[in-house]
Amino acid sequence: MLGAGGERMKICVYGPGAIGGHLAARLAQGAAVSGAEVSLVARGATLAAIRDRGLIVRVADGDIRCRPRAAERAEELGPQDAVVVTTKVPALPGVAAGIGPLLREDTTVAFVVNGIPWWYFDRDPSPSGGPRDGRRVPEADPGDAVRRAVGVARTLGGVIYSASNVAEPGVIEVSSRTSKLILGEPDGTRSDRAVALAAAFKAGGLPCSVSPDIRTEMWGKLLNNLSNGPVCLLTRRHMQATFADPVVREAALRAVHEGLAIAAAHGRPVPGDPADRINLSAGLAHKPSILQDLEAGRPMEIDSLFAAPLRLAREAGVPTPMLSLLVALAMQAAEGAGLYPAGG
C-alpha cells in the first residue's frame, strides 16, 4: 500500500487512548501486509509507556504488542498520508492547534469520534443536505478551530464499535469479543482514500467497511451512547449491572425510540430493533467511555453526545421527554464532579 511519491503509506494516530490505542495496534499489526508506516502523537504517561515497552492491546484472542513510533509533537513525525483522530471531542481544539505539521494538501484525516461531528452538515448528498450545507455544529467544534485547521476536503467520518478501556498507560483492554470500524466520505462516495485506509485496518485483523451513508452509521452509534451513557453516569455502574433493573431498561428503551425519531426527522432513519440495542449493551460488563471520563476526572463529551442531539430534536419539533430528563440529570452529575460548566 503506497502513499505519496510511491513510498510506504504513512498513517498517524492522534490520541492513543482506549480507542486510539486499539486502532494503532491494529494498523501496526497489519503493517507487514499493508506496508503502512504507523506512528502516534501521544503525551505524558502514555507516551512514556509506549516508548519504554511499546503498546499492548489485550483482545479476546490474545495480546497485540507493537512498537509504533511515538512522538509528543507532530513536528517530530512530519507530513502523513492519513491521520486518524481518536481524541475525545473536548480535546479537539488542542488537536487543531497541533495537527498542522502532519498535513499536506492531500492528507486524509479520519475523525473517529463520538456524537454529532463538526462536519455533519457539510457535503451531505441527501435531499435535505443542500440547504444546510456548511451549517456549524458548535458543540463539536467551538470557534471553528478544527474546520480551519483541517478543512472539510481532507475529512473522513468514522464510527467505531469497540468496548475498550485503558488498564494503565500504554495498555488497552478490549472487552467486546468483536470490534468493527466504519469509514465514510461526507458526500457518500466510495473514494480511493477511504478504501485504502480501510484496507490498512483490515490487514491488522479489524473488520472495517466503507459506508455510503456515514451519517446514518453515526446515528446508529449515537443511539447506543444516548441509551447507555446517561443512565450509567447516574448509576456509576457498568452496563450489565445498570440494565439488570427492568425500570432502567425501560427508560433506556424509551430514550432509544426518541433518538430514532430525531434521526428520522433529520433524514436518517436507522434500521433495526431498538430492543436489540439495549440487549446488546445489557450483555457487556463495560463502562461507557463517558463514565470512564467521569471516574478519571477527565473533560466529558456532554455537548457533542447529548446536547447536540437534543438541539437537533428541538429544531425538528421532536418531543424527547425521557432523553431530556436523563441528559439533564447526567449534566448535573458532570457539574457536581466539576467536569462540566454549571448551566451547560
Residues catalogued as catalytic:
221
CA-nearest of 338, 287, 328 to 307 is 328
| Residue ranges of domains in the chain, CATH in brackets | 4-212 (3.40.50.720), 216-336 (1.10.1040.10)
pLDDT means over runs of 10, the chain (344 residues): 71 97 97 95 97 96 95 98 97 97 98 97 88 93 97 98 96 94 98 98 98 98 96 97 97 97 96 94 94 94 96 97 97 94 74
Beta bridge partners of 181: 160, 208
How far apart, in whole angstroms, are the C-alpha atoms of residue 312 and residue 327? 14
- Residue 237 CA to residue 253 CA, distance in Å, equals 18
Pairing of strands 171-174, 164-168: antiparallel
Q: What pLDDT score does 342 carry? A: 75
Beta strand 82-85 with 10-14: parallel, antiparallel or unpaired?
A: parallel
Task: Give the DSSP letter string of 81-119.
Answer: SEEEE-S-GGGHHHHHHH-GGG--TT-EEEEE-SSS-TT
Residues 164-167: contacts with CB within 8 Å, 24+ apart?
A: 164/18, 164/19, 164/21, 164/22, 165/18, 165/286, 165/287, 165/292, 166/17, 166/18, 166/21, 166/292, 167/58
Between the alpha carbon of residue 105 and those of residues 81, 121, 149, 200, the distances in Å are: 10, 22, 11, 21
Is the separation of the CB atoms in 182 and 219 below 8 Å?
no
Q: Which helix (H) or strand (E) holds 229?
A: helix 214-235
**Predicted pLDDT at 79:** 98
